[in-house]
């Protein structure tokens, strides 16, 4: 019991001090369903960092800029994975996600997971490596939950309650 309390306190402290991921590591992510999105239709990779993206919608220009900050030259191949519970809502794009519903943008070459998970029907964000290490970083780095939120809820034409990728 004592150990549990200490762990809980340490958990709260680490959230407030280090401002890590807001959502837990989705341990069963390898069983999630791969979905098709505008990105996948474009070849399964984000445009390269030196590509001319000026004709794309601003949200995509900013996305390329953000993901290029993760790795010089761009993150390379990506895939989007959706937990079984979230699949219908993902496809319906009505934003009615339930607690625990999870979506992942898997940066395959980097072995990094961008995670969106729902609690109280609101999106929460996290960044993990494939083994579950929390690699969220400082605000403004592009790897902080608030950075995710700014874009994911800031573009109403592209996002529904934290789900992006509605650009066709
Ligand atoms: C500047 C904008 C921007 C930022 C910042 C951003 N994303 Fe995204 N994200 C997008 C766009 C656009 C897509 C849709 C790509 C597609 O399918 O075409 C997307 C897709 C996703 C998906 C796949 C599910 C979905 O919503 O379509 C997840 C999960 C995700 N992002 C999580 C994150 C996390 C976690 C962060 C922060 C570490 C983050 N994103 C930062 C723009 C952004």
The domain spans of the chain are: 21-152
Give the lowest-confidence range in 7-16, 97-106, 136-145: 7-16
Task: Read off the pLDDT band of 19 (50, 70, 90).
Answer: low
66 ligand 1 Cβ < 6 A: yes
Q: What CA–CA distance (Å, rounded) separates 156 from 166?
A: 10
CA angle 11, 140, 43 (to 5 degrees): 100
DSSP-derived secondary structure letter, 160: B
DSSP-derived secondary structure letter, 86: G
Distance 63 CA to ligand 1 centre (A): 7
124 ligand 1 Cβ < 6 A: no
Task: Read off the pLDDT band of 24 (50, 70, 90).
Answer: very high
Percent of all residues in the chain with a pLDDT value above 70, rounded to a whole number: 79
Strands (E), 36-151: 78-82, 102-107, 112-119, 122-129
The confidence score (pLDDT) of residue 38 equals: 63
The more confident residue out of 143 and 83 is 83
Distance 60 CA to ligand 1 centre (A): 10
Task: Read off the pLDDT band of 33 (50, 70, 90).
Answer: very high
User: Which ligand 1 atom sits closest to the C-alpha of 143?
Assistant: 38
82 ligand 1 Cβ < 6 A: no
The more confident residue out of 91 and 45 is 91
112 ligand 1 Cβ < 6 A: no
How many alpha carbons fall within 13 Å on the CB side of residue 54?
2
Is 25 within 8 Å of 125 (Cβ atoms)?
no
Task: Read off the pLDDT band of 40 (50, 70, 90).
Answer: low
Model pTM score: 0.84
Task: Read off the pLDDT band of 10 (50, 70, 90).
Answer: very low
User: Which ligand 1 atom sits closest to the C-alpha of 144?
Assistant: 38
Residue closest via CA to ligand 1's atom 32 equals: 114
User: Which ligand 1 atom sits closest to the C-alpha of 150?
Assistant: 5
Measure Cα distances from 17 to 12, 14, 40, 120, 149 in Å.
Answer: 9, 5, 37, 24, 19
Torsion of CA 52, 138, 112, 161, to 10 degrees: -80
Distance 90 CA to ligand 1 centre (A): 13
The confidence score (pLDDT) of residue 108 equals: 87
**pLDDT higher than 90, residue 22:** yes
**pLDDT higher than 90, residue 26:** yes
Residue closest via CA to ligand 1's atom 37 equals: 148
Beta bridge partners of 81: 34, 104
Strands (E), the chain: 33-35, 78-82, 102-107, 112-119, 122-129
């Amino acid at each position: 019991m004592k150990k549990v309390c200490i762990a809980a306190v340490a958990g709260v402290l680490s959230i407030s001090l280090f401002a890590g991921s807001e959502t837990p590591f989705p341990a069963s992510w390898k069983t999630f369903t791969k979905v098709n999105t505008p990105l996948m239709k474009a070849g399964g990779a984000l445009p390269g960092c030196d590509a001319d993206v000026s004709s794309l919608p601003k949200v995509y220009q900013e996305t390329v800029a953000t993901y290029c900050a993760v790795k010089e030259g761009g993150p390379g191949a990506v895939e989007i994975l959706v937990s079984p519970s979230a699949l219908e809502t993902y496809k319906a794009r009505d934003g009615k996600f339930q607690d625990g519903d999870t979506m992942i943008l898997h940066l395959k070459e980097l072995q990094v997971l961008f995670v969106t998970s729902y609690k109280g029907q609101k999106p929460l964000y996290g960044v993990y490596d494939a083994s579950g290490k929390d690699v969220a970083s400082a605000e403004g780095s592009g790897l902080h939950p608030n950075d995710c939120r700014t874009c994911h809820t800031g573009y109403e034409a592209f996002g529904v309650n934290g789900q992006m990728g509605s650009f066709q």
